[in-house]
Amino acid sequence: MSFYEDPEMHRDTSPVTPQRLVSILNETSDPSTVYALDAGNNRTWMAHLYKAQQAGTFFCPGGTAGMGWALPAAVALKLAYPDRPVTAVTGDGGYMMTVNALSTAMQYDLPITCVVFNDNALGMVLDHQPRGQEIASEFYPTDNAAIARGFGAFGIHVEDSRDLPDALREAQASGLPA
């Protein structure tokens, strides 16, 4: 079995697994899409499973990998690459840290897409805590799509992986930050 034949990449589930989410991005993204990856598990999944089709399409923070980098970076990348699709890939923790970048994207009419891996936790922090001793790493469930809509952006929450391809197409077709 090859690396990209992991059954989780092709199994439709609810909730959406990280492997399936990346597989759907592989299937539905324009090859010229520029990605801004955040710190955390979301970046690990993307780095391991996404098949970039062009050079210069993956951007991520280096060093200690600052959380919350992806969304404002996507705004900057859309200014640098106005004719290419730009997608931020972040976790719910990183999204909440810099969600105000959606206001900037709205103000300057920058139709970026933000995909949020939502596990209601600081996933990488939680992964490294001893089981049964987790502390300060889980979130109250938050409707991140409603927050996006609060900025005037397009927001959609997807639970079932079968709904994800259409949701991504709808987000990109909206002409709004999504």
Provide the CATH number for the domain around residue 39. Answer: 3.40.50.970
The answer to the question of residue 175 being in a domain is no
Q: What is the pLDDT, as a whole number, of residue 27?
A: 94
**pLDDT value at residue 1:** 59
Domain with 71 in it = 16-161
pLDDT single digits (tens) 119-149:
876 666 666 778 888 787 677 889 999 999 9
User: Is the model's pLDDT at 22 over the cut of 80?
Assistant: yes
Q: Tokens 């900037």 belong to which residue?
A: 104
Is pLDDT above 90 for 62?
no
Cα Rg, the chain, nearest whole Å: 15
What is the number of structural domains in the chain? Answer: 1
| Any domain includes 151 | yes
32 near 126, Cβ under 8 Å? no
Segment 63-70 shows an average pLDDT of 81
Confidence bin at 9 (pLDDT 50/70/90): confident
Report the chain's mean pLDDT, rounded to a whole number.
Answer: 90
Which of 28-37, 92-101, 112-121 holds the top average pLDDT?
Answer: 28-37
Which pair of tokens denotes residue 101? 């970048």
Looking at residue 130, what is its pLDDT?
A: 82
Q: Is the pLDDT of residue 95 over 90?
A: yes
**Alpha carbons 43 and 93: distance in angstroms, whole number:** 13
Find all residues with CB under 8 Å of 119, minimum gap 6, and list them. Answer: 41, 91, 92, 126
In a domain, 172, yes or no: no
Tell me, what's the pLDDT at 134? 78
Q: Which of the residue ranges 4-18, 89-103, 118-132 would you say has the lowest mean pLDDT?
A: 118-132
* Domain contains 154: yes
